[in-house]
Amino acid sequence: MLAIVFLSSVGVALGVLRRLRFDRRTIAIVLAGVALYADYLTYTSVSERNFDGLAHVYYIRAIAQHLRLPAMSACVACGHPPLYYALGAAWSRSLLAGGWMPFELGLQWLSLLLFVGFVVLALLVIRSFGVAPATQWLAAALVVFWPSSVLNSVRVHNDALASPLILAAIYFTARWDSQRHPRDFWLALVASALAILTKASGYVAAAILILFALVHLRTTKVARRDVARTAIAIVVLGAVAALAVFSRLEQSPHTLCLEVLGHACDGRYRPPVADTPSRFIFFDLPDFIRRMDAMPDYPKPDYFWNRFAKSSLFGVMPLGDEFQAARYTALAVAIKLLLLAMVTTCLCGAIFLRRVPWRRYRVYACAVVTMLIFLLAFRIRVPNEFHEDFRHVFPVLVPFCLAYALVVDRARRVSGALYWTGVGVALLMIGSSVAFFVRAP
């Protein structure tokens, strides 16, 4: 069964990448990533490193068996919009009919294929900037082998569909913003609508599309079709948002938060101390380096950025007994130090990014800022140990890796030593992530 999962995923990735005319090295990077994801699958069940995985399985199974949505109160995940679960049910009733593959493994296979789609979209984003092949390979390898990419690659969760849809919406919005092809606008609109029907985080994609539609109305040459497109986007996305909300309403009274965000509003967690501005500004560097666990070490302060940064690498949940050996602790420290080096490089990269045509980057820059604002608002509105998780804004990984590769590429103009140091940091991050997740013999 695992061989079928691996070979089919490789076949899909190979076919799509060849059709999109990616070069051999890019294809090799992706196929190596798929091999790592498949290896990770061999020792990872649905519930491992996925605290509500069984709830998502229940939601999908309920639709597959009864051809209707379960009660919103039936499971933790049952408050989410139904698109991902309907897709999972259709997948299980068609390709998994007859029980030839375990139900949960089949859903992990679906997640792996969806993550291949996310990777392909990331490659399209990277290629759209027309940078040198070596820079594209570096950015692609960082996305493919990033630690949380491995964690999310086979996770049975609606993020598996929401992340590629949000990234697709951002990609087509950026193409429409730069080239003004109507087709890109409609593709962005479709991707945004489907993202809303998948998860509340899809509202970010809708907000970005509407924002740039309004920006285009401020230009001196505004055509009637621009006004019409903006109006259509607002109406369609508003209607889809209403559909996503009302599809999960029940007869019992609900708050607005529960109607929009589902059981995320149940308040499973409250910080033992009140939120203060310092919790969203400060960063505890020793704690970040010392501990792999993203859960707070009370009575020490529970800083937002500490948990966000750790979850960008190793998720929110403890990784489990498979990762308790000393070698994993050492690798985790190395990975965290390398992340700090990469973030510092990107922050200092403004020196090398002068005279850059920022219009080419503005949609992606706006997307990063918007997603982080939405995440902060989510955490402030509903304090929860899982509401600072990087997976809620996982598409941010793509512009971050691309920005790092661009800064390293431009560092070549200043010093060859700086360039090769930047490349070395990226290669060390990739190698450390692979060493961390490859199953020990």
238-277 pLDDT tens trace? 999 988 887 766 645 566 666 666 666 666 666 666 678 8
CB 48 within 8 A of CB 320: yes
**Residue 101 pLDDT level (bands cut at 50, 70, 90):** confident
pLDDT at 228 over 80: yes
CB 152 within 8 A of CB 160: yes
Residue 251 has a pLDDT of 46
What does the domain layout of the chain look like in residue ranges? 2-262+274-437
- What does the alpha-carbon distance between residue 269 and residue 386 come to, in Å, rounded to a whole number? 9
Q: Is 100 helix (H, G, I), strand (E, B) or coil?
A: coil
Report whether the peptide linkage leading into residue 147 is cis, meaning its omega lies within 30 degrees of zero: no
46-50, 137-141, 247-251, 354-358, range with greatest mean pLDDT: 137-141
What kind and span of H or E run contains 221? none
pTM for the model: 0.93
